[in-house]
A and B are shown apart, each in its own frame.
Chain A
């Protein structure tokens, strides 16, 4: 009671004192660190009030305060300092490093742990790295080159599209190798099989850190979901103190990365046609180059069209973000609002647009109860161009349409043809498809409304017992509308004249909830033995429903609703669910922070496996030794030196539902009647794919942590691999494959990451950092030792003892200099002028998987100026260059060609040439001729920024003001004939989840990667 009274009186007293002694004035000063360098971002608060400020880039602060009050200066890793305000208007403070507080905290599975006590290989990517990227970039793309052991390949350049992320190599050879993403404790369901990836709907500006869990010590805690690694995303939170308002805005444009090869212009193309026709190539004899009079040729040359220019545009990239954060000692909040737009580079369609909001709050409800609630809602829309291997795809079209065929039809005199309405008429070209018009008349777009919420209740029962209960919900509403407008390009081909115009609407609602409870006991014995144990219960269920309707016969293209359709054609609805129920026990022990042991066991039950194999057990054990904490290391150059090792298992259940059952499908009709068709051969024996990872690593920090590094060696064995294994067609299975456990693969490698301050002075700082991962991989075991041919086009193979997904191709032996004939190797290694698919052989050491990859950066700062370049690189992988093959194929003479096609064999003795066109049949074949090295180095981002000094912006009421210019993908070094960053070859031919899909194995006219330039400003109030 007495205490309560004191609390009630205190504000009154404060009020009274305020009235009595109010002598407000502005205090300024500089906050520096131990070595005298200015510290930006130091929180300056008037004790007992919510009045606060922060230091700017140069360590300056300014705050209104009354004499006699106290200022508290706090900063992560520094000892907090409290100063009384006296007569002076200047208070300069030098903060001291706080050895205890410096204990950087890392987010690990189901909680966090001080970095020093962690036994695990974890890479952390923090907010400042994220900010350098084009804001509309999907967050997984941002991770490229940022962390050792994380291999990121953009699926393609389509705005809003996600990336292929692999942690420590190919953990599984079934296509789903995406790691598990967990955002603030909520696992994000990703189903690449149906292109469901909510990651693209997250606002990168909301993210504080990514923690990438790579070794068994942490991923085993995620059991069956951990085999591909885990990426934990922590969003920003408010800090106690006055509200911080930040606004940032950027604007820029992008373009397709220019080709590193030349495409023929009209006169070149006509000349090649003439040459081919003269050589008797059938496909060339009717071409204009072969048949036209000189006058006609001149006319065609005058029509010279660059189809890339005709079909592409510069994209507009826009981003605006507003955030407000703050709080007091009990309640903190972070509120944000973001808007992003990237119009994409394809003419006539819009790209990607996203609006997102987030509110993160934390409330200390009772002294024993802490409640957190994070809610985010975002909506994105994407226009989808057709991604297939024909001219309906504008990217394919721009390399296929002849340069002498212009965008619009022209009359012989060169004037434009107009229709009865006076409009220009799109040229169907010899491909018979008005692709530019189709972009208008065949619109398809998707809208996603994503809601993620989580509630946590942390309870402290006593010093030793605590409990954390959390419920995470994620719900996504996906709408897709695809239309063929009446009178449009496709409608006039495949539509019905009686019912012009078609439309399909799809609504898919995904709902996943994850409930978990972690009960923890922790204790210290004799002051040096620290022990803790946590018991986890977790239930995860995913429910997805889909509704689809289509109709035909539309009165007007401007009413895109099925209500006005004359006739309904298709309807459908489906539901699917999966459940995962888990128990786990996690234990940690350390002796005085020097010797650390951790262990975990987890049992998962999954609805994806049959009754006999429903449950899987996963475990791990790890240890670490903090050498730097030993007394004999005092006064050494090492600030940090830690050795650690871990071993454990995790699992993979990334397969479709009910693969263990034979199923009958009723989705198709025959002549309007229901059909029952078997859709898959079930395999009741399938069981968990499991993975054992061994890891040893050393972490070090030298010279006052000016040089930091981590080196890890890992070996990862994936057993009982799940693969949609090809089976004989004679079985009559729908996709001619059966999900089975087919063998074992091994990935081993070394990861190194280093960063250091080369120069660190008061005004000038130069930092260098980078990482590299070397990976070796090998197929260790396959069922019955039999090879498995895989890949979208059967161009890859799994063979015991060889690299995973090695290329399986006929080996090209060059051109016979005597007659220009293409030569191949038969299986006995003899050179022959025959071509046969039976010559296909494993190409040793050539696979789509890189031998090494990584990234590095260099950053300079001088006073307020900063310059930072981030590079990514990769090497040792091969890519099947179908785009080049299509650009110089003899049979494709009636389509656009690369200039390189002129370089064919012309006379005896010609070497280093393409085959003579007279050998079309044998030349136009898939062989190693088009298998090219995919090595590259790319300047991913280059950012120049300037922070205005405090004294210049004080007068206008701002806390901070930053300008920046950023460029993405500014230059690339590669020998590959085309863009070497290949993820998705062609969405229609092979996507993740399709049988045999191997990311990065070939290019085939998917959305190109872009280069962009953005300019922006950030303001803090």
Chain B
């Protein structure tokens, strides 16, 4: 009897383990999906496309490094407020090197992530039946892929119109699933030329324009968005007639001066052609892009304020002035502070949608192209000025007209991530005010007020992590 019990106990002890091998082999991930099998429906593909938008939003809206503001910090639109946290001062002072944290590392990483998702969608698009829905998904993915590469090449490479050697100089790696670029995770690809990058960007965008839908709702690209992007890319590429043609295809009304306040507090979407949106309720801890310029606590903590000369060049009849600036106070000093990204109505948390491309830019792209081709740019410029000024002189021609277009562009698009690229693509230097940061021009002037047009720092260094993990990548000159 006793031995039987012992035997039973022993059998029980061993028996427990009988089914263990099955348990081991059947285990699958719980909350993740399989990228090879997930994309089978339109809604699944839309999840992928939304993922790609999310990646773009990541690097545009980042409170420390957002592309919505860094190009202004690198330019002559702002000056560093010395009583702030001096965030991004390495960028403002042109002290960055390949290992500098922030945008240099961040954009390279995040933009390629956007490209990766877009490629995932593009590679499997034939899982959907032919038709408008498939075209719309593919159109968005192609446009996002082009957009992310465009941001990369304009930041790390030269811009075709910047200098004669630009097209032949090193751009970035253009990753296309169709070409098999996405197959090897251990690939160490080489940089292609700027010209090749622009050809592929334009190729993807032109194809997207034929495929994408009319209206995809807030925060998503549609046919207006793609043509808007094309008008910008053609301008960077010096294809002026195409700028005009693309601009003409963008059917979005300009924002009136009255609309502007609501535009920057996300009450309306007047003039928005491309935006990256945030749902501030369900994404209440999402990025607050306004922190690039200031934080509001008990008092303002300003990071950057208007460049003294820039502020004073703005006409007092300019209806924008009160929308884009306010008097900020910190440590007993007053500053011309930046008001565009303070938050939604009633908020001071800096959490707003990213204004990537507005009808006003499309119009100014067109005006600049018209000027370059000797067409009537003045009337185009005046369409905007009529809406922005109580009164203005106008009637410019020649160099004055060119200056007027660029001035209008600087003011209208100020702090939205354009200025550095506009100077760069036009081969112009950064010439900051030599006055101080405080409202009356006292305080501390920039350490480096001028960046000559041919300075290597117009091209950001390839991040050190890429240099270290990819033996085939070549660093930009100067770093």
Instruction: Note all chain B residues with C-beta closer than 8 A to A662.
Output: 34-36
Contact with B along A724-752 (1 / 0, CB 8 A): 00111111111010100000000000000
Within 26-51 of B, Cβ neighbours of A (below 8 Å) are at 27, 29-36, 38-39, 44, 47-48, 50-51
CA distance A282 to B466 in the complex (A): 32
Contacts of A894 in B (CB 8 A): 82, 86
Whether B179 sits at the interface, judged by CB under 8 Å, is: no
Asked whether A838 and B109 contact (CB < 8 A) given A430-B331, A607-B27, the answer is no
Known contacts A459-B9, A498-B347, A894-B82: A657-B285 contact under CB 8 Å: no
A882 within 8 A of B: no
Q: A793: nearest residue on chain B (CB-CB)?
A: B99
Q: Output the nearest chain A residue to B277 by Cβ-Cβ distance.
A: A671
**A921 / chain B contacts, CB cutoff of 8 Å:** 93, 95
CB-CB under 8 A for A498 and B346, given A493-B297, A732-B115: yes
Query: For the side of the interface on A, what is the size category?
Result: 35 or more
Contact partner, B34, options A664, A731, A787, Cβ 8 Å: A664
Determine if A581 is an interface residue (Cβ-Cβ < 8 Å): yes
Instruction: Decide if B23 touches A789 in the complex (CB within 8 Å).
Output: no
Tell me the bound Cα distance from A368 to B108 in angstroms.
Answer: 69
Q: Do A658 and B29 contact each other (CB < 8 Å), given the known contacts A670-B53, A670-B57, A728-B188?
A: yes
Q: Does A575 contact B (CB under 8 A)?
A: yes
Whether the Cβ atoms of B346 and A497 lie closer than 8 Å is: yes
Q: Which A residues lie within 8 Å of B218 (CB)?
A: 671
Q: By the criterion CB–CB under 8 Å, are B283 and A730 in contact?
A: no
Within 8 A of B (CB), among A39-66: none
Is A672 located at the chain interface by the 8 A CB criterion? yes
List the one stretch of A29-37, A163-171, A675-683 in contact with chain B: A675-683
In the complex, chain A residues 475-519 whose Cβ is within 8 Å of any chain B Cβ: 489, 492-499, 502, 515, 517, 519
Question: By the criterion CB–CB under 8 Å, are B473 and A891 in contact?
Answer: no
Asked if B349 contacts A494 (CB within 8 A), the reply is yes
Tell me if A835 is interfacial: C-beta within 8 Å of chain B. Answer: yes
Closest to A391 in B: B85
Distance in Å: Cβ of B213 to nearest Cβ of chain A: 16
Complex: chain A residue closest to B446, CB-CB: A282
Most buried by B among A662, A672, A894: A672
Is B312's CB within 8 Å of the partner chain A? no
Known: A469-B13, A495-B349, A664-B33. A286 touches B475 (CB 8 A): no
B21 touches A581 (CB 8 A): yes
In the complex the two chains form, is B113's CB within 8 Å of A282's CB?
Answer: no
Residues of B within 8 A of A732 (CB): 112-117, 119, 175
Q: Interface with B: A83-91, A141-149, A566-574, which one? A: A566-574
B83 surroundings in chain A (CB, below 8 A): 286, 430
Question: Contact between A282 and B6 (Cβ–Cβ < 8 Å)?
Answer: no
**Contact between chains at B24 and A607 (CB < 8 Å):** yes
Check if B431 is an interface residue, CB within 8 A of chain A. no
| CB-based nearest B residue for A468 | B13
Q: How large is the interface on B (under 10, 10 to 19, 20 to 34, 35 or more residues)?
A: 35 or more
Residues of A within 8 A of B238 (CB): none
| Cα–Cα distance between A368 and B461 once the two chains are bound (Å) | 75
- Is B98 in contact with chain A by the CB < 8 A criterion? yes
Taking the closest CB of chain A, its distance from the CB of B68, in whole angstroms, is 16
Which of chain B's residues has its CB closest to A734's CB? B113
B189 CB, nearest partner CB in chain A, Å: 6
B279 near A669 with CB under 8 A, answer yes
> In the complex, which residues of chain B have a beta carbon less than 8 angstroms from the beta carbon of A794?
99, 464-465, 468
Return chain A residues, CB-CB under 8 Å to B443: 286
Q: Known interface pairs A675-B51, A730-B173. Does A837 touch B31 (Cβ–Cβ under 8 Å)?
A: no
Residues of B within 8 A of A657 (CB): 29
Which residues of B sit under 8 angstroms from A575, Cβ to Cβ? Answer: 30-31
What chain B residues lie within 8 Å of A580 (beta carbons)? 24
Q: Does B280 contact A (CB under 8 A)?
A: yes
List, in ascending order, chain A residues with CB within 8 A of B279's CB.
669, 671-672
Decide yes or no: A731 and B112 within 8 Å by CB, A664-B33, A677-B51 being known contacts.
yes
The answer to whether B446 touches A678 (Cβ under 8 A) is no
Whether A105 is near chain B, meaning CB under 8 Å from some CB there, is no
Chain B residues, Cβ within 8 Å of A840: 464
A670 in contact with B219 (CB, 8 Å): yes
Q: Tell me, in angstroms, the Cα distance from A581 to B33 when the chains sit together.
A: 26
**Which residues between 268 and 298 of chain A lie within 8 Å of chain B, taking CB atoms?**
282-283, 285-287
Which residues 347-391 in B have Cβ within 8 Å of A in the complex? 347-351
Which residues of A sit under 8 angstroms from B283, Cβ to Cβ?
Answer: 669, 671-672
Q: Which of B10, B86, B347 is the one whose CB lies under 8 Å from A496?
A: B347
Whether B193 is near chain A, meaning CB under 8 Å from some CB there, is no
Residue B84 interfacial (CB < 8 Å): yes
Interchain nearest-CB distance for A1002 vs B (Å): 14
CB of A428 closer than 8 Å to a CB of B: yes
Q: Is A537 an interface residue (CB 8 A)?
A: yes
A673 beta carbon closer than 8 Å to chain B: yes
Query: B34 touching A661 by the CB < 8 A rule?
Result: yes
Contact of B21 among A434, A605, A606, A664 (CB under 8 A): A605
- Contact A681/B185 with A497-B346, A672-B282 known, Cβ cut-off 8 Å: yes
Contact, CB under 8 Å: A282 / B25: no
B469 at interface by CB-CB < 8 Å = yes
CB distance from A510 to the nearest CB of B (A): 14
Shortest CB-to-CB span from B387 to chain A, Å, is: 28
Residues of B within 8 A of A669 (CB): 50, 54, 279, 282-283
Given contacts A614-B25, A658-B29, contact A925 B463 (CB under 8 A): no
Scan residues 333-352 of chain A and give those whose CB is less than 8 A from a CB of chain B. none
Q: Are A577's CB and B27's CB within 8 A?
A: yes
User: Which chain B positions have C-beta within 8 A of A469?
Assistant: 9, 13
- Known A-B contacts A428-B299, A668-B51; A925 and B14 likewise in contact (beta carbons under 8 Å): no
Alpha-carbon gap, A924 to B331, bound state (A): 27
B116 near A674 (CB under 8 angstroms)?
no
B53-75 residues with Cβ-Cβ distance < 8 A to A are 53-55, 57
Measured between alpha carbons, how far is A492 from B39 in the docked complex, in Å? 42
B97 touches A925 (CB 8 A): yes
A286 near B109 (CB under 8 angstroms)?
A: no
Q: How far is the CB of B465 from chain A (nearest CB, A)?
A: 6
Chain A positions within 8 Å of B466 at CB level: 728-730
Of B6, B25, B182, most buried by chain A (CB within 10 Å of CB) is: B6
A658 contact set on B, CB distance < 8 A = 29, 32
* Residue pair A517, B17 in contact (C-beta under 8 Å): yes
B296 interface hit (Cβ, 8 Å): yes
Interface residues of A in 113-167 (CB under 8 A from B): none
Are A541 and B469 in contact (CB-based, < 8 A)? no
C-alpha gap A833/B444 in the complex (Å) = 27
A611 lies within 8 A of chain B by Cβ: yes
Q: State whether the Cβ of B301 lies closer than 8 Å to any Cβ in chain A.
A: yes
Given contacts A502-B284, A569-B285, A663-B35, contact A673 B9 (CB under 8 A): no
- Cβ of B130 under 8 Å from chain A: no
Give per-residue flags for A609-635: 1 if the beta carbon is below 8 A from chain B beta carbons, else 0: 001001000000000000000000000
A283 / chain B contacts, CB cutoff of 8 Å: 82, 86, 89, 444, 447
Given the complex of chains A and B, what is the CA–CA distance between A672 and B463 in angstroms?
32
Q: Which residues on the A side are within 8 Å of B13 (C-beta)?
A: 467, 469, 517, 519
Q: Does B281 reach chain A (CB closer than 8 Å)?
A: yes
- A7 beta carbon closer than 8 Å to chain B: no
**Contact, CB under 8 Å: B117 / A678:** yes
Contact A666 B31 (CB under 8 A): yes
Check B470 against A728 for contact (C-beta < 8 Å).
yes
Determine whether the beta carbon of B30 is less than 8 Å from that of A577.
Answer: yes
Most buried by A among B98, B281, B468: B468
B141-153 interface bits toward A, Cβ cutoff 8 Å, 1 = contact, 0 = none: 0000000000000
Question: 22 A-B pairs, CB-CB below 8 angstroms?
Answer: A282-B446, A283-B89, A430-B83, A431-B85, A432-B295, A432-B301, A461-B6, A496-B351, A515-B16, A517-B14, A517-B17, A575-B30, A661-B34, A668-B51, A677-B117, A728-B188, A730-B172, A730-B189, A731-B116, A732-B175, A733-B113, A837-B479
Q: State the 8 A-B residue pairs at the shortest beta-carbon distance, nearest first.
A: A732-B116, A432-B301, A672-B279, A789-B468, A675-B51, A282-B447, A286-B82, A670-B54
